[in-house]
Structure 1
């Protein structure tokens, strides 16, 4: 769903308060997946959610996307944050549709004819618009997935492991495209990743989540400008966080 006026930079675009989420409640073996997880997505910022495998990150994404209403708590969008778009780890492109058709199919019927030249050019997809997904590398397919989300002009973009399994060059290129999109649009981004160094490189804030049941262990702001984060600084921050949160980040 397309957004309207964007909340200003620094405003809370989305507030997530999950008091409790239990699978199989009332059954013989209920599983408490999330307990006391509260955080905000800020307009114009990239927030990375980091936690152990099986910690409830996917459950959290399903709740904030409105796919799982069976929980205790609430998700509160900013009044002007009318749209959330998602780019999945798997691009999920229709193989019988061209790149351009895959992107336009995500739009409401009355808006599918809009001009997308600027979007395709900004993501380096101009020459690929008439190609089919089978001709794309994984990195290019993920660009199409990102284009499909950005075409909806969301106020909040959710990314689930968007750079996993990519080579260093492709991952760096896609990270740069995400940062540029944030700077251009002022949207808020929530990204789930297991790659801590990658998160430190791209994020404005890190949210460190415990093992099941998932709860917030710490919010880590990253004040140094992204352009000044060299490899030594990134590795230094990662090592410091590993020492402070050993159950979340490997040493």
Structure 2
């Protein structure tokens, strides 16, 4: 099993032959089967699949949180000193710590004194550094979570439904920050989302997953520049995907 887009310069190569859950007193559940893909330097790839397809399981494996599977992840997240930066659906901030403390606590101890002025300025967090998370809107808390993920200068940023529950303006602002950060720092992004329109707006490639057990149905490149992706093009792209992959993309 070779990963789609595999190559020596891949930031991440995923090749999961099989992942099976063995819950007590019920039949085993095969969550992933023959799932292979690679993330290239500097690209934004979006992982899309129906609910329950195995996206969360895949994330847990590639982050090193689940080692009970057949296959390989390169680089091995359990052996890497500088693994992916992770932004979860919820910000997961410590409410009794300030914004800056939340960001620095995620850094290796020897690096916690490094200068983060540029990072906070870029994400619009400078005025909030000494505030506690409870004083921030959900959109601003998501920015803090993004700062925490970026503080270690990862080559790969992993986003799990990062814009869910935000209003349109806050979601658009955060999406713009992510894209600008990727372009500025030259990092790669793997984003899991149920929002097809969102994926079409920001991704360089769509990775479409089958219903469980998750496997790769198709890799869809989006070659039009992001600045030229107007509403008509996005709607036409989604309709075409729904026609070609009805089990993955809803009408």
TM-score bracket relative to the smaller structure: over 0.9
Q: Which residue of structure 2 aligns with residue 116 of structure 1?
A: 116
On the 8 A contact 2:47/2:206 being kept in 1, the answer is yes
Instruction: Give the RMSD, CA atoms, in angstroms.
Output: 1.8
Q: Which structure 2 residue ranges, 5 or more long, are not aligned?
A: 1-7
Residue 246 to residue 31, structure 1, CA distance change in 2 (3 Å) = same
Q: Deviations over 1:116-164 (max 9, x none)?
A: 0100000011111111100111100000000000001101110000001
Please name the residue that 1:47 is paired with. Answer: 45
Residue 182 to residue 81, structure 1, CA distance change in 2 (3 Å)? farther
Instruction: Give 2:219's aligned residue.
Output: 219
Query: Which residue in the other structure is 2:128 paired with?
Result: 128
Query: Per-residue displacement from partner, 1:97-124 (whole Å, max 9, x unpaired)?
Result: 1101100111111111111010000001
1:77 aligned partner: 75
Question: Is the alpha carbon distance of 1:230 and 1:29 closer, same or farther for their aligned partners in structure 2, counting shifts above 3 Å?
Answer: same
Quote the Cα distance in structure 2 between the aligned partners of 1:174 and 1:138: 11
State how far apart, in whole Å, the 1-side matches of 2:250 and 2:81 are: 36
Q: Which residue of 2 aligns with 1:6?
A: none
Q: Give the TM-score of the pair, scaled to structure 2.
A: 0.93
TM-score (norm 1): 0.93
Structure 1, unmatched stretches of 5+, are: 1-9
Matches within 5 A, 1:1-251: 11-24=9-22, 28-77=26-75, 82-251=82-251
- 2:141, 2:151 → 1: CA distance? 15
The 1-side partners of 2:131 and 2:173 are apart by 20
**In structure 1, the residue corresponding to 2:13 is in which secondary structure?**
strand
Q: Which runs of 4+ in 1 moved over 3 A?
A: 25-28
C-alpha deviation, 1:82, in angstroms: 4.2
SS, match of residue 19 in structure 1? strand
Is the 2:82–2:152 Cα contact (8 Å) retained in structure 1?
Answer: no
Aligned length: 242
